[in-house]
Amino acid sequence: MKWLFLLTFLAGSLQDTLPVRFSAAFDSGCLGEVRRIDSVLVRPSLTDSVLHLSYRVISRSDPDNPANPDLVPSGRWFYFLMENVRNKHIYLNFENTDPKRAVYSYDGKNFRRFEHYQASMRKVSAYFLSDSVYIAYFVPYGWAFLQERILQWTGSPHVVMDTLGYSMLGLPIQMLTITDRSVPDRNKSRIWIHARVHPGETPGSWQLDGLLEKLLSDSPQARAYRKHSVFYVVPFTNPDGVIGGYSRSNARGINQEVNWDHPDSLTAVEVKALRNRMDSLTREKPFDVVLNVHAQSSDKISYYIHTQESTSQDYFRREMYLAYLTTDDNPYFFPEDMFYSAPAPRYVEGWLWNRTQGATLALTIETPYSFYNGNPDGEWVTTASLKQFGTYLLRALSDYFQWDVPGRYIINGTVKGNRTVYKKAALPRGTYRVFTWDNAWIPRETIIRKRDGAFRYVIRSEDQSILLLE
């Protein structure tokens, strides 16, 4: 027993003396400088010891921006590996970044939030049970994982993948075209979606992943979506930034989000590829909707709505219509969470406004990293909730275009004097939530019970449409 105790004690001591190693030489990895603050060996008993180690982790900044030298490079994203941490309690103090509650994983796939954290101080700590652990600002969504997903998605007969062009480092900028090819495209809605302009904004990719998963499923709703639409989806507009672990820039240091109106010498090759493909796809007909998918430090989901004063009454109405449809029966997104701005040509939305004068509805949608609706006591953001939100966004697009989808009924009314009459013969009996709206963008809700027979509903105004949800 004496020798067993001695061997156990020596093994524990050896583990205590092994230095913790930090590295980030992998897909999406990012680490700046690490400095040890202190170390304390605590022995609660003769056979146990716990080494407490504290580190300052200074996140790496993006390269200087040659296109916009006045923009301060971001250092938000970090993703690194720590080794030799088994049975050690590690404290991490983050600098040059703003995580409220970082994530960690023993296998690089299954991530969890730190349980011990000080959001206001950007500190986390944990007692680790494995030799190696990955630490990240949020759950990564890297280049290799996207290739796995694309392999799965392109197994569908409804998907065609091609390449818009190549990044500065030679990576393909991939685009998925999704539709039911047995139905002519002539009357279909045309939706363009792109993500990961800012490579550190991984929540946007998880949201888009959920949207694509639903769109490519075999559900009755998904079959209807594909019948009525053509989706053009660019999952990574900045592949160099993603694989290189940058926060908001490409490998050259250019922030592609504000690069749409620059001269050719200062325009990223990735932005040129996007502009060229968007131009070629809209020579005969503009896109109906363009969505620019991002993530933000604000603790809420937001659309960036362009004000009526900076656009037009009709454009503003359509923006708010889609925005409120996206908040409908959605536990993550609320009407008060919107931001308001004016379209500027340096952004894709302003570039499209100048080209189409509002024919294309173009919006940025932002998801948070932390929690929803500014409520830290509510649900914290997970990949599952982001993917679920992607399905809500897809449903909102369906309602916006008034596609005929099982379980969602759009009925256009007939104006008769000072009232509007809505009729539909084939509508199952049951309880429905009825939404009506006229030129205002805030819908009015009524609960009704429909009995057997034809449906007839009358209201005392000249409303545009009525949406019934089963």
pLDDT in tens, 263-315: 999 999 999 999 999 999 999 999 999 999 999 999 999 999 999 999 999 99
Cβ(368)–Cβ(188) below 8 Å: no
pLDDT of residue 6 exceeding 50, the answer is: no
| Pairing verdict, β 229-234 and 339-341 | unpaired
In the chain, % of residues over pLDDT 70: 93
The Cα–Cα gap between 373 and 171 comes to 37
DSSP per residue, 164-217:
EEE-TTS-EEEEEEE--TTS-STT-EEEEEEE-SSTT-HHHHHHHHHHHHHHTS
pLDDT one-digit tens code per residue, 129-169: 999 999 999 999 999 999 999 999 999 999 999 999 999 99
Q: What is the mean pLDDT of residues 348-370?
A: 97
Q: What are φ and ψ of residue 254, in 5° steps?
A: -80, 130
In the chain, % of residues over pLDDT 90: 80
pLDDT score of 79: 98
Q: Lowest mean pLDDT of 241-250, 346-355, 446-455, name the range.
A: 446-455
pLDDT one-digit tens code per residue, 442-458: 677 888 888 888 888 88
pLDDT of residue 9 exceeding 50, the answer is: no
Q: What is the mean pLDDT of residues 401-405?
A: 92
Q: Other CB atoms closer than 10 Å to residue 121's CB: what's the count?
A: 9
pLDDT score of 407: 82
pLDDT one-digit tens code per residue, 179-198: 999 999 999 999 999 999 99
pLDDT of residue 7 exceeding 70, the answer is: no
CA dihedral 144, 146, 149, 153 (to 10 degrees): -130
Q: Other CB atoms closer than 10 Å to residue 381's CB: what's the count?
A: 24
pLDDT of residue 396 exceeding 90, the answer is: yes
| Pairing verdict, β 302-306 and 123-127 | unpaired
DSSP per residue, 219-245:
SHHHHHHHHHEEEEEES-S-HHHHHHT
pLDDT of residue 463 exceeding 60, the answer is: yes
Q: What is the mean pLDDT of residues 426-430?
A: 82
- Counted residue by residue, the chain has a size of 470
pLDDT score of 218: 97
- For the chain, what is the radius of gyration of the CA atoms? 26
Angstrom CA distances, 141 to 41, 69, 425, stand at 37, 29, 47
DSSP per residue, 280-293:
HHTSSS--SEEEEE
Q: In what order do the strands lie in the sheet with 419-424?
A: 414-416, 419-424, 455-459
Average pLDDT of the chain is 92
Q: Lowest mean pLDDT of 88-97, 199-208, 328-337, name the range.
A: 328-337
pLDDT score of 4: 37
456 DSSP β-pair partners: 423
Q: Lowest mean pLDDT of 35-39, 47-51, 147-151, 224-228, name the range.
A: 47-51
pLDDT score of 10: 38
Q: What is the mean pLDDT of residues 417-423?
A: 85
pLDDT one-digit tens code per residue, 30-46: 999 999 999 999 876 65
Q: What are φ and ψ of residue 58, in 5° steps?
A: -100, 110
Please tell me the pTM assigned to this model: 0.93
